[in-house]
Amino acid sequence: MRRIIGGGLSGLAAAVNFAKEGEKVEIHEKRENVGDQFHANYQVLLDSHGDAPSYLKEWGLKPKFTYKNVKTFLCCTQKREFTVSMKEALPLILRGGDNSLERGIKDEAESEGVKFHFKSKQKPKSGDILATGSYRTDMAAFGAYYENSDFPRDQFLYMHDERFSPRGWYLYIIPMDKDTIKVVNCTSRPHTKNTKKLLFKAIEKRKILSDIIDGAKPTGTVGGVGGAHFPKSAIENGILKTGEAAGFQDPWRGFGMNYAIESGVLAQRALSTGGDYDKMWKAQFKDRMKADIARRGIFWIFGNRAFEFAMRNVKEGDEVDWGRINFSGWKKALLYNSFYSAEMLKKSTMDYW
Ligand SMILES: Cc1cc2nc3c(=O)[nH]c(=O)nc-3n(C[C@H](O)[C@H](O)[C@H](O)COP(=O)(O)OP(=O)(O)OC[C@H]3O[C@@H](n4cnc5c(N)ncnc54)[C@H](O)[C@@H]3O)c2cc1C
């Protein structure tokens, strides 16, 4: 019987794939249900090219869940505000609660015979896979829900403003169901304790935000922390660590879902086939990890002026092709190598990104 500790995305992805290989598997989850670590909120799934189900299928998952593809966003740099569309739609995935991705994978897992033990908090030394989520705070997010009927339901807002989201982080608005919007601010260490205060300051000081919220009081909150610390080995005492329990998280923007799902499946494959897990995740994450670290270096050094610069030629109504905005070829390699090295040096001396 395979034993997985933690029923987040990485634990669930591993469990479904074990079961599909015909192995018996159980998940121990300390909460009452999967997805209970979040209030319902939408999260961006990268690398899915506008097609979240196909991405998940590639990783052995066919869950039913709620998501929406968004192509338009209100882009706010420190100085400008303009609406643009994206060449490729961005899938926003429901996390937490009914119809969320984790509930969908849980249903799939149960139909494949995975056994769940809820309210079962386990010691980290007790499983084949440790998928217990973040163990350190490199970044924090705090958000508030407001009742608002005006914000377009098919857009989101994305703001880089150093005064409120240091250093080089961002604030966003995503419409939830009916007439509610979620306004979230993100910061990195050493600013994480101020994330909430800075969210309300941003709403007060940036007219575009106060106009959108228009005096409404928050009806609820959401938040959490993330930890990124790519280890030399993600195997400890014979247990394979996945997702944020291993330190797999994007230090640039906190987009950890891909790292979680993919590492969960790679851990399952390593255990089922006798493969070398460390070699497998290093090969899978090498390029993404390096790019995420390099971009964090750029945003750490220049703050949100880096975003201002990247968007300098984009105007109201333009279509944004992120591939074109990023540097390409040798310039990109040189830029990324330099900032990657600078950021790694900072992390090794100061222990934060
Ligand atoms: C507010 C917020 C917004 C985010 N937005 C995005 C986004 O837009 N895009 C993106 O890609 N990523 C985003 N992320 C990050 C992403 O959600 C995480 O990286 C991802 O969910 C990590 O998955 P995981 O399986 O490693 O851990 P988790 O999802 O944290 O799951 C860990 C599970 O283990 C359980 N557990 C913990 N300890 C024990 C124990 N001792 N015994 C049993 N069970 C235990 C927990 O209850 C939990 O269910 C966001 C995170 C937050 C907080």
Instruction: Please answer whether residues 265 and 292 qualify as being in contact, where contact means their C-beta atoms are separated by less than 8 angstroms.
Output: no
Q: Tokens 């490729």 correspond to what residue?
A: 88
CA of 44, closest atom in ligand 1: 8
Give the closest residue (by CA) to ligand 1 atom 48: 8
Residues 79-90 have pLDDT tens digits of: 999 999 999 999
Cα of 134 vs centre of ligand 1, distance in Å, is: 7
Alpha-carbon dihedral sign for residues 246, 41, 304, 194: negative
Pairing of strands 67-76, 81-95: antiparallel
pTM, two decimal places: 0.96
Cα of 343 vs centre of ligand 1, distance in Å, is: 25
Residues 23-33 have pLDDT tens digits of: 999 999 999 99
Task: State whether residue 315 is helix, strand or coil.
Answer: coil
Instruction: Please answer whether residues 293 and 343 qualify as being in contact, where contact means their C-beta atoms are separated by less than 8 angstroms.
Output: yes
For residue 247 and ligand 1, the question of a CB distance below 6 A is answered with no
For residue 260 and ligand 1, the question of a CB distance below 6 A is answered with yes
**Residue (of 264, 250, 185, 208) closest to 9 by Cα position:** 264
For residue 256 and ligand 1, the question of a CB distance below 6 A is answered with yes
Reading the block at residue 320, the tokens are 């944004």
Give the closest residue (by CA) to ligand 1 atom 7: 43
For residue 119 and ligand 1, the question of a CB distance below 6 A is answered with no
| Upper half-sphere CA count for residue 177 (Cβ side, 13 Å) | 8
Cα–chain center distance at 304 = 19
- Between CA 256 and CA 244 the distance in angstroms is 8
**What pLDDT sits at residue 323?**
67
For residue 166 and ligand 1, the question of a CB distance below 6 A is answered with no
What structural domains does the chain harbor? Answer: 2-67+93-136+227-285 (3.50.50.60), 139-226 (3.30.9.100), 288-350 (no CATH)
| Residue of 28, 30, 33 with the most ligand 1 atoms within 8 Å of its CB, for mutation | 30
Cα of 327 vs centre of ligand 1, distance in Å, is: 31
Residues 291-327 have pLDDT tens digits of: 999 999 999 999 989 999 999 999 999 999 876 666 6
pLDDT cut 90: percent of the chain above it:
87
